[in-house]
Amino acid sequence: MSRLLIKPEKPDQEGKVLSISPQSAGWQYVGFEVYSLKKGETIQKNTEDYEVCLVLLTGRIDIKTNEEEFMNIGNRMSVFEKVPPYSVYIPNDDSYLVTALTNINIAICYAPGKGSFPTRLIAPEMVGIENRGSGKMSRKIHNILPEEEAADSLLVVEVFTPEGNTSSYPPHKHDKDNLPHESYLEETYYHEINPEQGFVFQRVYNDDRSLDETMSVENKNVVMVPEGYHPVSSVPGYESYYLNVMAGPVRTWVFHNDPKHEWLFETGK
């Protein structure tokens, strides 16, 4: 199995099913976890040196931090309802307590923080919805924590790709700290598939092919993208969802397209 592909495990005593830290990934910025809790169970954590974006994938919860409380939030029982989620931004040097009011799945996205911004609720109506691409490259975007919204490091977005379509495409990368032409951003892809027995393909490759891996990605798998281009192809009969987390030394998304495939932009295919 590819070192870039992380599969879920049975919930541990805290309910954690997926965990990627900067240390385990061998990079500097992005951390990502998923917890699966039953009704009444809790998660309690300190943010330490990291800012955190809690993305409620499914279910309803209460959240308490050192400064704020957000009670009885949550609006979907499946990500494939395609409505934006409730999320909560929490700065570093804080803590949070999550209480599950129903069975829940929650993503914990984190990256280095500077304490620049206070805790806030990101309600569904605050999430920008965008249709991107055309034809077999079309997909739907939920901009949860985009560049235009306040954070120190994190960028967070959901993407829905119809069956048979390809997204994160034409292939692009963001692995060089070379602004204004390209930004360095590490990235994780948390995938869900509908129906859940399906799969998608994701390729991660760089220009000299010293990295070139194509993975069959199943429901609730994570793909790490330390560098290179990283398109995702859904197969007929199965919808694709993924949650992207990005972070790097500068909080901006400036990507570089694979020049061999830029003709796809020109033709509009």
Residue 136 — φ and ψ, nearest 5°? -75, 0
Pairwise CA distance, residues 146 & 185, whole Å: 13
Local structure of 128: helix, strand or coil: strand
No. of helices (H) and no. of strands (E), the chain: 2, 24
Give every residue of the chain whose pLDDT is below 50, as ranges: 268-269
122 near 201, Cβ under 8 Å? no
Provide the pLDDT for residue 264. 85
Cα–Cα distance measured from residue 269 to residue 263, given in angstroms and rounded to the nearest whole number = 9
pLDDT number for residue 263:
85
Q: What is the DSSP string of 13-46?
A: TT-EEEEE-HHHHTSSS-EEEEEEE-TT-EEEEE
Name the token pair of 220.
């609730």
Q: How many CB atoms lie within 10 A of CB 69?
A: 11
What does residue 23 show for φ and ψ, rounded to 5 degrees?
-70, -45
Q: What's the whole-model pTM score? A: 0.96
